[in-house]
């Protein structure tokens, strides 16, 4: 089997770095892999040093600038994993135009189309926020009816990919948590943030009525690796939509209680409140927990429990 090319779009982000770290371990088993990633600002030297050899390309997704360099130097990828997004709902609400331009991968799909074939598998990260949030355990076939711009941009992305590319896997991810990255990301990581505020021994409020199915980052990596290997070994095009959540439906309050249980913090300082008690400047769906039966059946992967994921995150001090 010849050398395969994998491109991570948004490789300096949280999931992107974890993907590059894991894919860099593939060394001729079962295939040779050439790695590349795109970045918006300067690529962190820590990342480049940790996973040589890897190519990095500056790409502006909003206008499509930078893809020509990838074509000339790297060539057509066998697999593209699109992790790039404006993923903070409040930021999307403040600038809907930028959210749509970044989160709907028009320039990426247009570039892939230039190769004149569909020999690239596009793995695209979507979100649980495509669902309205009025019930528990959404299935992939349930109607999408997002309550904020972020969710709307991700629905638009799913529709664009489905209409314009014939070889794809769309992964509707819940909250992704786990160890810090090689080059630490600036955004707050959920388990580390909860750990930090609880460690201060002050009263902290957590929502008791906002439910998610958070997924451990290395389970997401495992899912993407399985899809990559399936495409490379079988060569059969796919049009796949998967809920990518963890095993457990938990509230923000239950997430905090799990961290407190692992660390031994005083649970009396964890105060239960309703999400409606706080104004956040953006609508947040109440219950977008997901049914992951299709994921388990399709790939044979069962994510770790939330309790185990918290342990795996914190037992190394939250670092990778």
Condensed to tens digits (0 to 9), the pLDDT of residues 201-233 reads: 999 999 999 999 999 999 999 999 999 999 999
**pLDDT of res. 208:** 96
Interacting residues of 244 by C-beta distance below 8 A, sequence separation 6+: 171, 172, 173, 174, 215, 220, 223, 290, 292, 295
What's this model's pTM, rounded to 2 decimal places? 0.96
Question: What value does the mean pLDDT take over residues 133-142?
Answer: 97
Domain at 19, CATH number: 3.40.50.720
- Identify whether 308 is part of a domain: no
Looking at the predicted structure, is the pLDDT value of residue 1 above 80? no
Q: What is the mean pLDDT of the chain?
A: 94
Containing domain of residue 85, as a range? 4-181+213-248+288-303
Question: What value does the mean pLDDT take over residues 157-175?
Answer: 98
- Identify whether 312 is part of a domain: no
The number of domains in the chain is 1
- Identify whether 152 is part of a domain: yes
**pLDDT of res. 319:** 45
- In Å, how far from its chain's centre is CA 311? 20
Question: What value does the mean pLDDT take over residues 298-317?
Answer: 94
- Identify whether 205 is part of a domain: no
- Identify whether 206 is part of a domain: no
- Identify whether 87 is part of a domain: yes
Strands of 168-173's sheet in order across = 55-58, 33-39, 4-9, 79-82, 121-127, 168-173, 239-244
**pLDDT of res. 78:** 97
């Amino acid at each position: 089997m010849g050398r395969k090319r994998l491109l991570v779009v948004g490789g300096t982000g949280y999931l992107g770095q974890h993907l590059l770290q894991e894919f860099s371990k593939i060394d001729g088993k079962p295939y040779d892999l050439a790695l590349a990633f795109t970045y918006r600002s300067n690529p962190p030297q820590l990342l480049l040093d940790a996973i040589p050899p890897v190519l990095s390309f500056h790409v502006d997704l909003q206008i499509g600038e930078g893809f020509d360099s990838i074509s000339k130097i790297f060539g057509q990828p066998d697999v593209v994993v699109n992790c790039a997004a404006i993923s903070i709902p409040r930021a999307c609400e403040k600038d809907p135009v930028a959210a749509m331009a970044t989160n709907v991968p028009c320039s990426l799909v247009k570039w892939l189309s230039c190769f004149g074939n569909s020999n690239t598998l596009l793995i695209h990260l979507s979100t649980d926020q495509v669902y309205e949030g009025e019930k528990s355990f959404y299935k992939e076939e349930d109607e999408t009816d997002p309550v904020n711009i972020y969710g709307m941009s991700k629905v638009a992305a799913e529709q664009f990919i489905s209409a314009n590319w014939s070889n794809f896997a769309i992964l509707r991810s819940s909250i992704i948590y786990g160890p810090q990255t090689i080059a630490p990301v600036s955004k707050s990581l959920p388990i580390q943030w909860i750990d930090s505020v609880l460690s201060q021994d002050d009263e902290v409020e957590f929502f008791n009525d906002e439910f998610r199915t958070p997924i451990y980052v290395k389970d997401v990596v495992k899912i993407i690796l399985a899809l990559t290997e399936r495409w490379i070994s079988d060569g059969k095009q796919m049009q796949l939509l998967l809920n990518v959540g963890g095993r457990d439906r938990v509230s923000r309050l239950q997430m905090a209680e799990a961290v407190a249980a692992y660390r031994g913090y005083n649970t009396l300082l964890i105060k239960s409140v309703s999400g409606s008690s706080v104004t956040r400047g953006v609508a947040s769906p109440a219950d977008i927990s997901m049914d992951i039966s299709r994921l388990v059946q399709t790939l044979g992967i069962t994510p770790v429990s939330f309790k185990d994921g918290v342990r795996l995150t914190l037992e190394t001090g939250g670092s990778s």
